Amino acid sequence: MSVQDYLDKHTLSRKIEDAVNAAVRAKTADPVLFISNHMRKAVPSAITKVRARQILDSRGIPTVEVDLYTNKGMFRASAPSGAPSGMYGAIELRDGDKATYLGNGVSKAVKNINEKISEAIVGMDPILQNQIDQAMIDLDKTEKKGELGANAILAVSIAACRAGAAEKEVPLYKHIADLAGGGNHVLPVPAFTLISGGKHAGNNLALREIMILPVGAHTFEVALQMGSETYHHLKAVVAEKYGPHGCNVVEDGGLAPDVTSFREGLDLVMEAIGRTGYADKLKIAIDVAATDFCIGSKYDLDFKSPKKSGQNFKSGEEMIEIYKELCRDYPIVSIEDPFDKEDWEQVKFFSGLEICQVVGDGLLMSNPKRIERAIQENACNALLLKVNQLGTVTEAIEVVKMAKDAKWGVVISQRSGETDDSFLADLSVGLATGQIKAGAPCRGERLAKYNQIIRIEEEIGDQASYVGENWRQS
């Protein structure tokens, strides 16, 4: 084939002429760079290759990582992972071979991406997130993504979202906002984990997390500073009272001193807050994760103490009184999972008191049907969103819309098994959730999210809006 035949076959002469004319009109100082970029934009947008592998998450447990290629380049994403979400959440596909990674390998999920999902989505336009996600859902054919694995589908979905943003030449958070129908880009209030307990820690504290919310900061950067300083003041307080071993950290970076009661842990946090000088700018949130210590219709506050377990049972009514007293005595503005995941009556009654934000995690499992029921029954007033319980970016956008339409708060949440993927930061800003829970201001996989929001705030510049006191109305 001659050069002229080649040019004619691909209509290159016309395309090159168009690029040169565009460069002339733009009066560009670098015509070669301008023409190169112009020609690149003329290439049809399409996914050209998808490649997955097994990596380890922050717990040292396997998870899925995906490289998705388009004409713009390569886009990487990895799936977060947590404790199994039971009958209501999407299913992570694990190998089950106890001889390899104690059964936690994800080679089956990786194979599904490389051999099945790749074939289904190569050639698709990465901008069309909904179509890509639906193609994977249709390929899986199960309600909870148990055939291909939610971990496989989610990693591809996030990678495709990044590719779509690149194709549009906009930041990821802006692309997510566009997918959700537009809206303001607000920077969320971070819920920093300070003290950990429950099944996540080896101490005797029944509740899972005590967190602080820097609602009085004027920027996210200042909020991060407040969180870091409070965390380090708390380390000093804990070291003074419990010795250096009390400063050991758990999976999400929270400290785990051997406290035995809600109030003992809250008093430590209050002392740390007092040392910072930010007392009027910080509020407290707690994640009770009450399902972990619910036995029948009672709650065993000493379930982690072998010698005491069974001696400190509380009824649902007694738990309500405990929460009312805690909200009176401490600046608590949010309580997550105050009751068992099936204790709808108690959580409805407690939410109706309007004492604080009541967040549904185990109650909802990010499941649209559970969310719809909770909205209809006024069972809580905030959604804790864990994207891996759904499996696609599109479904995450849809449940956030459900929550916002109900005037709920929305908390974008980490999992115990995280990676250095910062997608949750862009998701929170893009969907204007107003709240993000990414762990302590400690450990790289947690800070990856917080540091990304710092970058986003810098990029937006003077137009950046930190929700602060309006964290519930974003």
Q: What is the pLDDT of residues 299-331, one digit of tens each?
A: 999 988 877 656 789 999 999 999 999 999 999
Active site residue 348: no
pLDDT band at 39 (very low <50, low <70, confident <90, very high): low
Q: Which of 326, 223, 238 is nearest to 275 (CA)?
A: 238
Helix axes 423-430, 172-179, angle to 10 degrees: 50
Percent of the chain with pLDDT over 70: 96
Mean pLDDT of 269-273: 98
Check: CB of residue 108 under 8 Å from CB of residue 93.
Answer: yes
Residue 442 contacts by C-beta under 8 Å, 6 or more apart in sequence? 231, 249, 253
Q: How many CA atoms lie within 13 A of 375 on its CB side?
A: 19
Mean pLDDT of 381-385: 97
For residue 61, give the 3-state DSSP assignment.
Answer: coil
Taking the C-alpha atoms of residue 249 and residue 20, their distance in angstroms, rounded to an integer, is 59
pLDDT of residue 5: 77
Mean pLDDT of 231-259: 94
Active site residue 252: yes
The annotation status of 340 as a binding-site residue, yes or no, is no
Taking the C-alpha atoms of residue 219 and residue 205, their distance in angstroms, rounded to an integer, is 33
Q: Could you identify the residue written with the tokens 């016309």?
A: 14
Answer positive or negative: Cα dihedral of 334, 338, 342, 343.
negative
Active-site annotation holder among 252, 302, 337, 421: 252
Determine which of 24-38, 325-339, 403-417 has the lowest per-residue pLDDT on average: 24-38
Mean pLDDT estimate for the chain = 93
For the chain, how many residues are written?
474
The annotation status of 413 as a binding-site residue, yes or no, is yes
pTM above 0.85, yes or no: yes
Taking the C-alpha atoms of residue 278 and residue 391, their distance in angstroms, rounded to an integer, is 39
226 Cα distance to chain centroid: 21
Helix %, strand %, coil % for the chain, to 5?
45, 20, 35
The annotation status of 59 as a binding-site residue, yes or no, is no
pLDDT band at 13 (very low <50, low <70, confident <90, very high): confident
Q: What is the 3-state secondary structure (H, E, C) of 230-261?
A: HHHHHHHHHHHHHCHHHHCECCCCCECCCCCC
Taking the C-alpha atoms of residue 154 and residue 238, their distance in angstroms, rounded to an integer, is 39
Structure tokens at 8: 């004619």
If you ran DSSP here, which 8-state letter would residue 388 be given? G
Check: CB of residue 321 under 8 Å from CB of residue 343.
Answer: no
Check: CB of residue 433 under 8 Å from CB of residue 455.
Answer: no
The annotation status of 474 as a binding-site residue, yes or no, is no
pLDDT of residue 351: 97
The annotation status of 280 as a binding-site residue, yes or no, is no
Percent of the chain with pLDDT over 90: 81
161-186 pLDDT, tens digit each: 999 999 999 999 999 999 999 888 89
pLDDT of residue 34: 76
Residue type present at position 231: Y
The annotation status of 422 as a binding-site residue, yes or no, is no
Taking the C-alpha atoms of residue 200 and residue 133, their distance in angstroms, rounded to an integer, is 32
Mean pLDDT of 281-310: 89
Q: Which of 419, 360, 422, 406 is nearest to 385 (CA)?
A: 360
pLDDT of residue 86: 64
Please say if the pLDDT value at position 42 is more than 70.
no
pLDDT of residue 54: 98
Determine which of 60-74, 77-91, 109-123, 259-273 has the lowest per-residue pLDDT on average: 77-91
Mean pLDDT of 127-132: 98
The annotation status of 336 as a binding-site residue, yes or no, is yes
The annotation status of 209 as a binding-site residue, yes or no, is yes
Q: Which of 370, 314, 376 is nearest to 351 (CA)?
A: 376
Active-site annotation holder among 145, 386, 404, 449: 386
pLDDT band at 1 (very low <50, low <70, confident <90, very high): confident
**Helices assigned H by DSSP within 117-203:** 118-121, 129-140, 150-168, 172-179
